[in-house]
């Protein structure tokens, strides 16, 4: 197996296991608390996912390319600055997310707040660092294993009759342990570069992340807001929409390792090779979404029957729209993160994201009130289609960077602060 495929497999293993473990928890939660409680938890998780993106402060967008091009000292400084900034941002963000979840998460307001807090902790992930260093197996060992074990423990205790809150706490503990272990390993592995560079001021760090934060937060809000909109304009459709939303997110997460690898691959290419690699990335992901979308439509009844614990029925049209949502979501990620970010147009990504989000959420609010979950999905696809079109146009019109980049470590793996 080539080095590149080996890394794709490594990142894929992490994302796949996390997705499967998270999905296994859903029917256990529904069986333990019922469909209405699941709706409250879904509201909390949606708010928590936005909070996680705020806490991450855009490093998921800009971090991999920065780390891929950096030496050991710069990598250590980048990571340390990220952790400090994220800790500062987490206090007001967690407070706001849990409070809002408690307000909007009827009938199980306390569980909604707990779910929001759990999801918000994911914002501290070091995933972006390991993508930049092309080191998937360290990510697997430090973060993936604890998170998967936490979710599986939650499934076990719920199946044995524990309260829903206990299952959510198990998931939260797994995330917290993974974050702590990962932080320790990154700082230990870069200890030889300690003190080599002075840290920048917090204000400077936050200013440098402004476009990445805007893009990431608006993108996350676009994924989370429809759950809240549906809960207000058509509450009866919430259990179905929350279920397809959960599945789409996990399928998307399972596919993102390919996008992550392409992101570093394109970012570190020589100027003459950047556009050729962008085209290759688009074609590879297009083949993936066609295959995955077809499988989702074919297996949708069986999959949603299990996921909804036979308490939530998802129609065939809703399954087809979920597949379209996944396809547009992944292709937009390639157009923005793989193409425009390496081309130095993160500002254009932020603009396209804002415009697409405004169009999509407006459509969701109108269509969900009439057509329920299907209307919400159509509205989401309208917004994603707008963003994808703008990003493709922006990439075509953007100039190729003139500076020469260091080769991405497919053939020459980096060793600065990576090897244990």
Q: Calculate helix-pair angle for 164-189, 145-159, nearest 10 degrees.
A: 170
Q: What pLDDT was estimated at residue 353?
A: 85
The string of pLDDT tens digits covering residues 320-358 is: 999 999 999 999 999 988 888 888 787 888 889 889 989
The per-residue DSSP string of 77-137 comes to HHHHHHHHHHHHHHHHHHHHHHHHHHHHS-S-HHHHHHHHHHHHGGGG--HHHHHHTT-HH
> What is the full DSSP assignment across 218-250?
HHHHHHHHHHHHHHHH-GGGHHHHHHHHHHHHH
Q: Does residue 82 surpass a pLDDT of 60?
A: yes
pTM for the predicted model, two decimal places: 0.74
125-165 residue pLDDT tens: 999 899 888 888 999 999 999 999 999 999 999 999 999 99
Residue 248: name the closest of 14, 23, 17 by CA: 23
**In this predicted model, which residue has the larger pLDDT, 120 or 217?**
120
pLDDT above 70: residue 2: no
* Structure confidence by residue, pLDDT tens digits, 103-116: 998 889 999 999 99
Residue 409 has pLDDT above 70, yes or no: no
Q: How far apart are CA 249 and CA 19, in angstroms?
A: 8
Residue-level pLDDT at 270: 81
How far apart, in whole angstroms, are the C-alpha atoms of residue 85 and residue 289?
A: 35
Q: What is the DSSP string of 283-322?
A: HHHHHHHHHHHHHHHHHHHHHHHHHTTTTS---HHHHHHH
Percentage of the residues of the chain whose pLDDT score is greater than 70 = 92
> CA 331, CA 220: separation in Å to the nearest integer?
16
- If pLDDT is split at 50, 70 and 90, which confidence band does 414 have? very low
Contact predicate 223/249, CB 8 Å: yes
- Greatest alpha-carbon span in the chain: 61
pLDDT at 212: 65
Q: Is 141 exposed, middle or buried (0-12, 13-18, 19+ CB in 10 A)?
A: middle
CA dihedral 330, 332, 338, 342 (to 10 degrees): -160
DSSP string, 48-61: HHHHHHHHHTTHHH
d(CA 98, CA 111) in angstroms, rounded, equals 10
Q: pLDDT higher for 3 or 312?
A: 312
At 400, is the pLDDT very low, low, confident or very high (cuts 50, 70, 90)? confident
pLDDT exceeds cutoff 80 at 124: yes
Q: What is the pLDDT of residue 248?
A: 87
pLDDT tens-digit series, residues 218-256: 767 777 789 889 988 998 898 899 999 988 888 887 777
Residue 143: both structure tokens together: 């973060």
Cβ atoms of 134 and 65 closer than 8 Å? no
**Which tops the pLDDT comparison, 49 or 260?**
49
Say what the pLDDT of residue 411 is.
35
Phi-psi region of 400 (alpha: psi -120 to 50; beta: other; left: phi over 0): beta
pLDDT at 202: 76
Q: What is the mean pLDDT of residues 61-81?
A: 86
**Structure tokens belonging to residue 261:** 């690898």
Rounded Cα–Cα distance for residues 338 and 265 (Å): 9
Question: Given pLDDT bands bounded at 50, 70 and 90, which one contains residue 9?
Answer: confident
Mean pLDDT of 366-387: 95
Average pLDDT, the chain: 86
Please state the rounded mean pLDDT for residues 386-395: 93
pLDDT at 122 over 50: yes
Give the least confident one: 55-59, 65-69, 273-277: 65-69
Mean pLDDT, to the nearest integer, of 204-227? 73
| Higher-pLDDT residue of 253, 403 | 253
* Highest averaged pLDDT of the listed ranges 14-18, 65-69, 171-175, 265-269: 171-175
Instruction: Give the whole-angstrom CA distance, residue 365 versus residue 287.
Output: 32
CA distance 263 to 85: 24
How would residue 5 be classed by pLDDT, with cut points 50, 70 and 90? low
Q: Which two three-digit tokens encode residue 372?
A: 């329920």
**Amino acid 125: pLDDT:** 93
């Amino acid at each position: 197996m080539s080095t590149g495929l080996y890394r794709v497999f490594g990142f894929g293993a992490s994302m796949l296991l996390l997705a499967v473990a998270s999905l296994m928890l859903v029917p256990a939660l529904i069986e333990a608390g019922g469909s209405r409680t699941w709706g409250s938890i879904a509201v909390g998780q949606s708010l928590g996912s936005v909070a996680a993106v705020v806490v991450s402060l855009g490093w998921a967008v800009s971090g991999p390319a920065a780390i891929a091009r950096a030496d050991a000292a710069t990598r250590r400084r980048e990571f340390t600055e990220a952790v400090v900034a994220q800790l500062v941002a987490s206090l007001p963000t967690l407070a706001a997310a849990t409070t809002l979840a408690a307000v909007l998460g009827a009938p199980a307001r306390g569980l909604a707040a707990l779910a929001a807090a759990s999801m918000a902790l994911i914002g501290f992930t070091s995933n972006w660092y390991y993508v930049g260093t092309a080191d998937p197996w360290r990510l697997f060992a430090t973060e993936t294993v604890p998170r998967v074990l936490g979710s599986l423990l939650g499934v076990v205790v719920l199946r044995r009759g524990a309260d829903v809150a206990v299952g959510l706490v198990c998931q939260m503990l797994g995330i917290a342990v993974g974050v702590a272990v990962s932080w320790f390993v990154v700082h230990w592995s870069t200890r030889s570069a300690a003190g080599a560079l002075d840290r920048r001021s917090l204000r400077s760090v936050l200013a440098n992340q402004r476009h990445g934060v805007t893009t990431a937060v608006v993108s996350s809000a676009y994924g989370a807001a429809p759950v809240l909109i549906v809960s207000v304009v058509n509450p009866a459709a919430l259990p179905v929409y929350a279920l397809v939303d959960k599945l789409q997110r996990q399928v998307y997460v399972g596919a993102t390792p390919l996008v992550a690898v392409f992101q570093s691959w394109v970012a570190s290419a020589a100027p003459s090779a950047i556009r050729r690699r962008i085209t290759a990335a688009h074609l590879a992901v297009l083949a993936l979404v066609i295959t995955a979308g077809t499988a989702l439509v074919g297996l949708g009844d069986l999959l949603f029957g299990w996921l909804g614990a036979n308490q939530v029925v998802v129609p065939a049209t809703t399954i087809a729209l979920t597949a379209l949502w996944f396809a547009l979501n992944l292709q937009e990620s390639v157009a923005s993160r793989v193409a425009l970010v390496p081309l130095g147009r993160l500002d254009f990504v932020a603009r396209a994201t804002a415009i697409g989000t405004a169009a999509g959420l407006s459509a969701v609010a109108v269509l969900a009130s009439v057509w329920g979950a299907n209307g919400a999905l159509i509205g989401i696809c309208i917004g994603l289609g707008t963003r994808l079109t703008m990003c493709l146009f922006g990439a075509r019109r953007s100039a190729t960077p003139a500076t020469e980049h260091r080769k991405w470590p497919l053939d020459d793996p980096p060793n600065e602060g990576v090897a244990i």
